[in-house]
């Protein structure tokens, strides 16, 4: 199914791929000939190395051993008989003869004048018939031009090469279902997969007995014809290279495509979502979607490297409408107030995934984290409870809750427990003053006790959050009695020195404590997530209120932590 959908993409009228058995290669040198095959010059293509040389479509062939020339474009050993540094004279002569013989067969089969010119040049080739550039690299690709024309571009030449390179057993192609010569080795490699070989990865191969099936070797284990294999491999490479059709997440690359061209980029929405784009998507979905594009099939897959092979890790087959609906839900799930009470910005998959590892580190999350988020974003369904564990652990280790972790916690809770009495249908976007969940209340209380300490003592280095967050978020009854008692001297100091701050903080403490019958002995994983959200929501609400009192609505940097405790100007 995956390969068939890639062939469908390759056949879209707006998709341009190289001809069959051709590939875009960085031809470094052009041998310019006239119409009679007389040598004019060897022109070095623009650029100092292969990577900066312009790529053109030339015949291609995967070869690992033996002598197998490529038509009209190869290294200097094959084309000119000039050895590479490690080349053996006997092997070089054999390679050059094979190249000349292949060119002769093509010239006879196609009867093209330009091929005849190339053949005449090769037949009378001697070291005296051409002059090499001073910095000539015999390992770089060399091809031909005749009176400025590239013989490899001729349709007759492309047809010849397609037949020439199609040798294989006659088998039923698993993609098109027709009986055709199957490819023993796929002639196009997948490139751009993280951790993969620079030469590319095979999608179908068996190079050891353990991988063989029913005695079939190589790519015969999953037989595909030349045309289908060429199309689906090149389509995958184009999607990997496309700016809006791929997304790198750790060691995985995701590719997306639709059966028809659509004016919507899933890749950019998943990697760099902009608030305006997200609002537009949510509005469109709430109005019933877009009847023009919603029925169009949508596909996505995840690819990783494993040795010399590419591995398909996930596959999503749905419609544009359903994928857009799931994506809108994905952004609605993560909607949570910012750390200062402002509207939270939408986060891409990579940013959310990074919430499960150390802050400000280069560590990548476990691969399953990205797969879970991507599947939720495109295929819907709940996020796994293991994401709660990852995010809760990071909050406990780093003794605090940032916006990304709060969003991930909220997403997982609401996606898993959004009905019945598990969350009461709460959206958890901002502070919920009427939420009676004991764990949530404990989180709010912890935020206020932190504010009391800061208001009374200022920056004390290792405050109660640094010392007690882990215990408070998992076993509240163990520490909250001590913390509440320890806050009383701080409140007494504030009542004497800063009565405005005292009344603000004491009022919030009393409101929270009035709804807590007792401190829970222990908190489950889900309850620890509620604790973290209560702590985050309360701090964000306090900051928002402080910003409003200070009048600094547009300058978050102008509001200090001391502002969270009350309006000093009113004192």
pLDDT exceeds cutoff 50 at 558: no
Mean pLDDT across the chain: 89
Tell whether the model's pLDDT for residue 320 goes beyond 80.
Answer: yes
For helices 403-416 and 320-333, the axis angle rounded to 10 degrees is: 120
Can you give the pLDDT at residue 424? Answer: 40
Looking up tokens 């969270």, which residue turns up?
Answer: 564
564 pLDDT tier (thresholds 50, 70, 90): very low
Residue with the bigger pLDDT between 228 and 127: it is: 228
Q: What percent of the chain has pLDDT over 90?
A: 74
Statement: residue 552 has pLDDT above 80: no
CA gyration radius, the chain: 33
3-state SS, 4-30, equals HHHHHHHCCCCCCCCCCCEEEECCCEE
> Can you say whether the dihedral through the CA atoms of 5, 11, 17, 19 is positive or negative?
positive
Contacts of 108 (CB under 8 A, 6+ apart): none
- Return the beta strands (E) in 282-407 as ranges: 297-306, 309-319
CA gap 546, 553 in Å, rounded: 10
- Residue 261 binned pLDDT confidence (cut-offs 50, 70, 90): very high
Q: Strand, helix or coil at 440? A: helix
Tens digit of each residue's pLDDT (9 = 90 or more) over 76-97: 999 999 988 776 788 899 999 9
The answer on pLDDT for 559 being more than 70 is no
Going by pLDDT thresholds of 50, 70 and 90, the confidence category of residue 569 is very low
What residues contact residue 387 under an 8 Å CB cut-off, 6+ apart? 356, 369, 372, 408, 412
Mean pLDDT along residues 100-128: 95
* C-alpha to C-alpha distances, 329 to 285, 334, 377, 383, nearest whole angstrom: 9, 9, 8, 12
User: Strands 142-146 and 29-33: what pairing?
Assistant: parallel
What is the pLDDT, as a whole number, of residue 209? Answer: 65
Query: 331 CB contacts (<8 Å, ≥6 apart)?
Result: 273, 278, 281, 282, 346
Residue 302 has φ and ψ, to the nearest 5°, of -115, 130
Vertex 276 angle, CA 275 and 282, to 5°: 90
Going by pLDDT thresholds of 50, 70 and 90, the confidence category of residue 423 is very low
pLDDT surpasses 90 at 346: yes
Which residues lie closer than 8 Å to 550 by C-beta, 6 or more apart?
A: 558, 559, 563, 567
Residue 51 pLDDT: 54
pLDDT in tens, 455-510: 999 887 788 999 999 999 999 999 999 999 999 999 999 999 999 999 999 999 99
pLDDT, position 561 = 43
**Encoding tokens for residue 353?**
């995934």
Q: Is 60 exceeded by the pLDDT of residue 426? A: no
For residue 357, the tally of other CB atoms under 10 A from its CB is 15
**32 or 563: which carries more pLDDT confidence?**
32
| Tokens at 151, concatenated | 């013989």
pLDDT in tens, 382-408: 999 999 999 999 999 999 999 999 999
392, two tokens: 């809760």
395/391 Cα distance (integer angstroms): 6
With beta carbons less than 8 A apart as the criterion, state whether 451 and 564 touch. yes
Higher pLDDT, 51 or 219: 219
Q: Where are the alpha helices (DSSP H) in 458-524?
A: 464-474, 476-497, 499-513
Give the model's pLDDT for residue 469: 96
Phi-psi region of 81 (alpha: psi -120 to 50; beta: other; left: phi over 0): left
The residue-averaged pLDDT of 442-457 equals 95
CA distance 355 to 368: 14
The whole-angstrom distance between residue 288's C-alpha and the CA centroid of its chain comes to 29
User: Which residue's entry shows tokens 């084309």?
Assistant: 79
pLDDT of residue 420: 38
| N residues, the chain | 571
Average the pLDDT over 321-349 and give the result: 95
Reported confidence tier of residue 425, pLDDT bands at 50, 70, 90: very low
From 336, 300, 20, select the one nearest 187 (Cα to Cα).
20
pLDDT of residue 233: 95
Tens digit of each residue's pLDDT (9 = 90 or more) over 352-380: 999 999 988 888 899 999 999 999 999 99
Look at residue 208 in the predicted model and tell me its pLDDT. 67
Query: For the whole model, what pTM was predicted?
Result: 0.86
Q: Across the strands, what pairs with 25?
A: 56
Residue 565 has pLDDT above 50, yes or no: no
The SS3 assignment for 377 reads helix
Evaluate if residue 427 carries a pLDDT over 90: no
pLDDT, tens only, 146-171: 999 999 999 999 999 999 887 778 89
pLDDT for residue 210: 62
Q: What is the pLDDT of residues 516-544, one digit of tens each?
A: 999 999 999 999 999 999 999 999 999 99
Is residue 328 predicted with pLDDT exceeding 70? yes
For the record, the structure tokens of 388 come out as 């709660």
Token pair in block for residue 404: 């990304």
- φ/ψ region of 420 (left if φ > 0, alpha if ψ in -120 to 50, else beta) reads left
Question: Between the CA of residue 534 and those of 103, 228, 401, 432, 569, what are the distances in Å?
Answer: 75, 55, 10, 8, 28
Distance between CA atoms of 532 and 437, rounded to whole angstroms? Answer: 12
* 32 close to 57: Cβ distance less than 8 angstroms: no
């Amino acid at each position: 199914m995956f390969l068939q959908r890639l062939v469908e993409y390759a056949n879209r009228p707006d998709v341009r791929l190289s001809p069959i058995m051709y590939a875009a290669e960085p031809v470094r040198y052009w041998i310019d000939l006239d119409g009679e095959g007389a040598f004019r010059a060897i022109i070095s293509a623009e650029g100092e190395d292969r990577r900066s040389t312009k790529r053109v479509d030339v015949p291609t062939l995967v070869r690992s051993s033996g002598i197998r020339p490529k038509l009209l474009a190869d290294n200097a050993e094959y084309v000119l008989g000039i050895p590479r540094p490690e080349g053996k004279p006997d092997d070089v002569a054999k390679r050059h003869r094979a190249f000349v013989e292949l060119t002769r067969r093509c010239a006879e089969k196609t009867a093209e004048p330009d091929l005849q010119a190339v053949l005449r040049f090769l037949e009378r080739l001697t070291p005296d018939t051409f002059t090499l550039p001073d910095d000539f690299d015999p390992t770089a690709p060399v091809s031909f031009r005749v009176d400025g024309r590239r013989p490899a571009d001729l349709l007759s030449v492309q047809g010849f090469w397609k037949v020439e390179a199609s040798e294989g057993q006659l088998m039923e192609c698993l993609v098109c279902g027709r009986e055709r010569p199957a490819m023993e080795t796929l002639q196009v490699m997948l490139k751009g997969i993280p951790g993969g070989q620079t030469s590319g990865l095979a999608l179908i191969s068996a190079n050891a007995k353990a991988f063989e099936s029913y005695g079939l070797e190589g790519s015969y284990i999953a037989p595909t014809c030349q045309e289908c294999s060429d199309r689906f491999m090149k389509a995958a490479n184009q999607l990997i290279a496309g700016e809006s059709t791929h997304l790198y997440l750790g060691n995985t690359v995701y590719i997306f495509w639709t059966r028809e061209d659509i004016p919507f980029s899933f890749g950019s929405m998943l990697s760099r979502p902009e608030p305006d784009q997200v609002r537009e998507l949510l509005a469109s979905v709430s109005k019933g979607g877009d009847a023009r594009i919603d029925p169009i099939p949508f596909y996505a897959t995840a690819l990783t490297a494993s040795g010399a092979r590419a591995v398909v890790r996930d596959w999503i087959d749905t419609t544009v409408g359903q994928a857009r609906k799931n994506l809108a839900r994905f952004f609605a799930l993560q909607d949570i107030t910012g750390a200062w009470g402002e509207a939270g910005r939408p986060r891409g998959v990579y940013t959310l995934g990074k919430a499960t590892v150390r802050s400000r580190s280069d560590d990548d999350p476990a691969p399953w984290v990205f797969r879970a988020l991507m599947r939720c974003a495109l295929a819907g369904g709940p996020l796994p409870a293991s994401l709660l564990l990852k995010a809760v652990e990071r909050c406990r280790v780093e003794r605090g809750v940032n916006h990304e972790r709060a969003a991930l916690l909220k997403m997982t809770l609401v996606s898993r427990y959004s009905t019945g009495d598990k969350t009461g249908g709460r959206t958890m976007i901002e502070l919920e003053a009427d939420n009676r969940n004991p764990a949530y209340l404990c989180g709010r209380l912890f935020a206020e006790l932190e504010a009391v300490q800061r208001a009374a003592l200022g920056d004390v280095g290792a405050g109660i959050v640094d010392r007690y967050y882990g215990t408070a978020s998992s076993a509240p009854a163990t520490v909250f009695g001590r913390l509440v008692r320890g806050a009383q001297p701080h409140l007494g100091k504030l009542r004497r020195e800063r009565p405005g701050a005292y009344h603000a903080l004491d009022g919030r403490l009393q409101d929270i404590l009035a709804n807590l019958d007792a401190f829970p002995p222990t908190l489950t994983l889900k309850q620890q997530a509620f604790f973290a959200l209560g702590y985050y929501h309360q701090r964000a609400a306090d900051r928002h209120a402080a910003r409003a009192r200070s009048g600094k609505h547009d300058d978050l940097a102008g509001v200090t932590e001391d502002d969270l405790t009350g309006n000093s100007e009113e004192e």
